Amino acid sequence: QQPIPALREEPTAVCCHWLVVNGDQPSTLLNPHIPLEGPDPKSGPAAPDPVTGSTDQQQRKLQHEDRVQRKMRHTLSQEQMEYYRKLTDTIRHPMPDPHSRARVLVSLQKLQKHCLGPLAPYLVQFFYEEVLFHLQDLPVLSNLVAMLDALYYNRTVPLSLYLHNLMEPLLTCVTGERLCASPDEDHWTLRDHAASLLAKMCLQYADDCEGLLTRMVRTLLRSLLGPGGSLSTHYGAIVALSSLGPQAIHEFFLQKHPPSAQTPAGGTECVLVTYTQWLFKAWTELIA
């Protein structure tokens, strides 16, 4: 048995070089040369396509625009689609058993982001469409507001991304002229719940959406002071303004009447106190 031959010591060298810089390969001797796609500048302009009449450059531009404008497709698992179907059926068709509704709302509050995150756009769209479709169906509207309230308490769902689709139907549930088929139904509870949720969302996402509080106060004041408003509309506007609290009213009046050198000391506070007194008077007259 012969011994293992000794290893040959060959001179080696190690050096560093950049393979990619900001997504582009630098032109160095150590990196292979990759020719750029496109026509050879020495060959002149490319001839147009005999069928479409467009050049290669125009075709590449159209392909790039088509690739950029292509919509992203969401992939939902079978369990997520089944959960969405059961949830929407429970909201659309109120069951006599209150435990079924409670289980659905609790699941909305406790599901994690990887389970509920892909469903968030569909739930927001469902809320938006169903409120407009069931404007006089009080049980369905109550379920929809309760569903949105459960989503609000699930902090893994970024509702701030969908405020433009949530505020309009939620305001409808607050200041809508008629939200039930019969005036004897208790639509006041729905308005109280929707106004409380509206105030919580405005105060929670005021930093994410600039001017949100000001726009809400302006819209509610327009519903309260506008001509031809019904008693239910005035009630919803007053409840929502009361739920927003003095901070929102103060920011609204600061924007309308910013303090200046000509403003007397305490001028804005006097306006705020006057408005608060008027709001309290309107509230007492309404519930009297």
Q: What are the residue ranges spanned by the domains of the chain?
A: 78-287
| Cα–Cα distance for residue pair 177/229, rounded to 1 Å | 8
| Bridge partner residues of 24 (DSSP) | 21
- Report which of 101, 97, 151 is spatially closest to residue 126, judged by C-alpha positions: 151
pLDDT at 118: 84
- Report which of 192, 191, 217, 189 is spatially closest to residue 203, judged by C-alpha positions: 217
| Bridge partner residues of 21 (DSSP) | 24
pLDDT at 146: 93
106 contact partners, CB below 8 Å, separation of at least 6: 150
Which CATH architecture describes the domain 78-287? Alpha Horseshoe (1.25)
The per-residue DSSP string of 254-267 comes to: HHHS---TTSPTTH
Q: What is the pLDDT of residues 116-132, one digit of tens each?
A: 888 888 999 999 999 99
Q: In which residue ranges of the chain is pLDDT below 50?
A: 36-45, 50-52, 67-69, 257, 260-268, 271
pLDDT at 142: 92
pLDDT at 68: 47
